[in-house]
Amino acid sequence: MSTPAAYLHEIFSAIQGEGPLVGVRQIFLRFCECNLSCRFCDTPASRGHSETCRIEKTAGERDFVTVPNPLDVKCLVEALTRLNKSPHHSISLTGGEPLLQADFLVEALPLLRAQLPVYLETNGTLPEALGKVLPQVDIIAMDIKLPSAAGVDDQLTIHKEFLSMSVGRGPCPPPHGRRLFIKIVITADTREEELLEAFSLVAEVDPQIEVILQPVSEISPKAKAPTPQQCLRWQTMGLQRLASVRVIPQMHRLMGQM
């Protein structure tokens, strides 16, 4: 049996810049490859396989070394252990789309989670892969992709399956259960009927699930940020159906942090 290995773009320590945990310190494992191509993607370099991965040696110092891909579990654990010498809240699995390498995560997560809780950032389109790793995930940050904003095909049917699995299957990690929240990137071109469909989808599964509306960061001419008035109107629409809808921009972009 071959040793499991995965393609990663980078491993580093930084501040979480999105969602309700904005500001906490995390170790980021940025995986290569994605099954979508969103027009507002802020990590296009991680969409495909890379021959090398850069790994930070000292947390927050940006003293990267470059190693060949793919990485085995032992290399990942060593990198994590070295960065975790200073306190961190959790490990962020990001990308790309981490669940495209779910078979590797099945082997790696028990060892990684022995050091820190696992925070999965996902586009919410691979429910079968989620099922493989769900018992080892403590926090799920799931995207709902709106076609008018992301420029991708309608994903609502598969999003519903993914969301239902996130809340309804698999043992919840101790001591307080698994945390789940939804992130929806909004742009000036967001269509309200799509946003209403997304709110209704979440409400149908569980209206207590927290939803974050994230105004797009204008890093691409293809995606323009919504106005403050649009954000307020869309938040009101969400709050008519859901218990918690917050508007939070990408704080790491405002701070100029990777």
Q: How far is CA 167 from CA 36, 134, 140, 161, 208, in A?
A: 23, 10, 10, 10, 11
Q: What pLDDT was estimated at residue 177?
A: 75
The CA angle 86-65-76, to the nearest 5 degrees, is 60
Q: Which residue has the tokens 């797009």?
A: 216
DSSP classification of residue 171? P
pLDDT by position in tens, the chain (length 258): 466 999 999 999 999 999 999 999 999 999 999 988 777 776 666 666 889 999 999 999 999 999 999 999 999 999 999 999 999 999 999 999 999 999 999 999 999 999 999 999 999 999 999 999 999 999 999 999 998 877 778 889 999 999 999 996 555 565 557 999 999 999 999 999 999 999 999 999 999 999 999 999 876 667 789 999 999 999 999 999 999 999 999 887 777 776
Q: What pLDDT, on the 0 to 100 scale, is given for residue 131?
A: 96
Round to whole Å and give the CA distance between 12 and 26. Answer: 9
Residue carrying structure tokens 């252990």: 81
Give the residue among 223, 228, 233, 192 at the shortest CA–CA distance from 37. 223
For residue 256, the model assigns a pLDDT of 73
Q: Token pair of 7, please?
A: 């393609």
Q: Would you state the pLDDT for residue 176?
A: 58
5-183 adopts what CATH topology? Answer: TIM Barrel (3.20.20)
Query: Could you tell me the residue ranges of all domains in the chain?
Result: 5-183
- Is the pTM above the cut of 0.85? yes
The answer to whether 171 and 135 are in contact (CB under 8 A) is: yes
Strands 139-143 and 52-56: unpaired
- Give me the pLDDT at residue 198, please: 97
